[in-house]
Structure formats: structure tokens, C-alpha cells
Copies of this chain bind each other. A is one copy, B any other.
């Protein structure tokens, strides 16, 4: 089983409007609802790849109840979310149907009490016992300590479970120092962590800060990876039109599935890059287009070299 952690779960709403105009009134022509937060997106992609997945993190209030209701319809995803008294957040993606441009509105998460954070850590430790790998994904809701991911990484390492971290800012900085197996920053997160805007140099630098492997997702330019086994770059054939929301989560799913299947790094990166590119044309943010994925797989170019043994 692969475990994914989403401390700041969300109900993701996608609204279609002809074009968003500030200070006007809009009739929404199409509404989609799905359980969101990066770890839930990663879990859905892993389940679609045939993996057994369990999701944990927090869910609360009417929004949390709706997230769990929708999750119960996601085949292959087991719900081990921990209740919280506050209400889980909504995110609203307003898509201009004429251009595909998206305006994002993100509610803040619920305030998590110290006792709730303790209850989560206990549940997490229990879930690790049955996990082949764990992904720690997304932002921290208010009340959760900024060193939360560092603590969860140490617990996973003590349990011998490989751990992937996908977050930003100070939680990423502290998490990297706790020596996760993989971190997956995007270009902005990597630059903020290392101070370097040069991805090859920055991925190396992030390794020196404690991450065993670093895979940076660079949007249409693909992936750059620095690992103990070597350095690679994986590039999709062409820019894909659509909504890039969730493309980074598909990268995490590709890397995790490759990790538990013990694929060589170039194959993991090929899968992750193809999944990521196949997420962009999917009609709903955070899902991937299986036909596009299968067409992209043989067309990903991986360059680089293994470290001399």
C-alpha cells in the first residue's frame, strides 16, 4: 500500500464562465466538484495506475464531509482521514471557456488544535506499518507546526518507509533537512529553497541540504533529477494545451509508483513526465488522460548519465 498525506485537504470546485470580468455578475455554466489537496490527487493517479492507496490527513465540517463522500466513489483509494473540528477548505478554479485561462480562489484551511495534530501523528504511525512508501503533500493548515513534515519524515525513516515530500517555503526547507528520500519542487519552490534559478545547480544544492534525490518539475520543459544513481533530464515531445493544475501531483504519482516497482530512475522519470503531460489536457484538474499518457510514454526523451559505480 502507498500512503499519501494531505494535511490541508480541499473540496476543489471548477467553474466554467464565458470570461471572468471583475465586479460583474457571472452565470456559471458548468460546475465540477472533486476531492482535492495534492495528496488526494496523487492518490487518485496512483489508483488509476493500479496501486493500492490509502489517504490520510485532516477532514472536517460540511466541506470535509463532502470530500469524504466524493472519495468513497474513488475506486482503489482507502479513506483514513482524521477528523478535525474546523471546516476543510474549498478551492475555486474559474475557467474562462473561451481561452482556458484560469483564476484561482483558495480558502484558508481549518485551524488544527494541538490535540488534533497529536491524534494525526498517532494515526500516521499506525498507517506506516502497512505502507511501502509515503508521500507528504501540499501546504500546512493553520495550527500545524512549521516543522510538521520534518517530524513526519523522521517517523517514516524510523519505520523504514521511503518518503517523498512535495511542499514549499519553510515546511520544505525544514523537511529537506530531515533527509527525505525524494523531494519534488517546481521551479519556483526550488529557487526559493536554494537561491539558484539554474535547475541543474539547484537540484544538486537541494541534495546537499539533505534530500536523497531531487526531481524538479519545470512545466513544459519536463523534469530534472539529481539522485545518488545519476543525473537525468526527461523532456516531453511538445507543449500540451490545457490546465496544468495537478501536473505536479501526477509527477509525484509517477515517481512513487516507480519507486515501489523498483524501476530504474530513467524509467521512473519517463513515467512521471508522461503522466504530468497527460494531466494538462484532462477536462478536470488533477486527473490524467489515459490515451494521451500511453501515446506520450514512448515519446519522452531522457538524457543524462548514471553515476560511475
A residues apposed to B, CB below 8 Å: 13, 15, 17, 20-29, 31, 62, 65-66, 69, 90, 92, 94, 96, 101-108
Contact = CB atoms under 8 A, between A and B. Distances in A.
A22 B98 CA distance: 14
B62 A28 contact: no
A22 B101 CA distance: 8
Nearest to A15: B105
Nearest to A61: B66
Contact of A62 (B15, B69, B94, B102): B69
A106 B26 CA distance: 6
A278 to B, nearest CB: 23
Contacts of A29: 108
A28 B104 contact: no
A28 B65 contact: no
Nearest to A28: B107
17 contacts: A13-B90, A17-B105, A20-B23, A20-B103, A21-B103, A22-B103, A23-B101, A24-B103, A24-B104, A25-B106, A26-B106, A27-B108, A29-B108, A31-B90, A31-B108, A62-B62, A94-B105
